[in-house]
Amino acid sequence: MKRSIAAALLCGLLLTGCPPPVAKNGRAPVDRNAIAERIRRDEAGGVADWASRDVDRIATRYAANGSLIVPCQPRLAGAARIRAHVAALLRDPNFELRFDPDRVDVAESGDLAYSVGTYTARATNPATGRPHSEVGNYLTTYRRHRDGSWKAIDGAAVHGGPPQA
């Protein structure tokens, strides 16, 4: 019994004393699946932020130099323009946005990723004053920042239905 405890302690010490595995490039290997799952969770949090109509939380999901391309609008470059656009959308009491990634892919380096999926938006039609809905596709590119957070650096939304099989 004493030998098995000593052996277990020795194995534990040996395992904890080993440096983490190193990839060919000299860095620790990247768990791309874990990063993709984190981005999926972050996007689910983004949907919750839109539902709560929290302009600040939505805007801080974008990098300071991020950009956003939305239908029928010029490209929105920079955090201030993105924040102003979000605030304008949320002034519409009928505005709702839901999105869901179909795929999240992470670069081998572990510092860039993208998600692609579908969205559903609801807003007041300015011509009729009635709520209307649209569906479309989106693509968001993310960069990992020094503090470990992931921020959207580019996003684009395009009218149209879900992808065809």
Q: What's the CATH code of the domain at 103?
A: 3.10.450.50
Q: Are 125 and 148 in contact (CB under 8 A)?
A: no
For residue 165, being part of any structural domain is answered with: no
What contacts 84, CB < 8 A, 6 or more positions away?
none
pLDDT of residue 130: 93
For residue 54, being part of any structural domain is answered with: yes
d(CA 21, CA 17): 12
pLDDT of residue 17: 43
Amino acid at site 44: A
For residue 39, being part of any structural domain is answered with: yes
d(CA 19, CA 27): 12
What is the domain range of residue 110? 31-159
For residue 73, being part of any structural domain is answered with: yes
For residue 146, being part of any structural domain is answered with: yes
For residue 20, being part of any structural domain is answered with: no
Could you tell me the strand order of the sheet in which 76-77 lies?
Answer: 76-77, 62-69, 150-159, 131-144, 112-124, 96-106
For residue 52, being part of any structural domain is answered with: yes
pLDDT of residue 160: 86
d(CA 106, CA 115): 9
Q: Which of 39, 64, 31, 37 is nearest to 114 (CA)?
A: 39
For residue 21, being part of any structural domain is answered with: no
pLDDT of residue 24: 55
User: Which segments in the chain show pLDDT lower than 50?
Assistant: 1-2, 4-22
Tally the domains of the chain: 1
pLDDT of residue 99: 93
pLDDT of residue 53: 96
Hey, which residues does 157 pair with through a beta bridge? 138
Phi-psi group of 18: left, alpha or beta (phi > 0 → left; psi -120 to 50 → alpha; rest → beta): beta
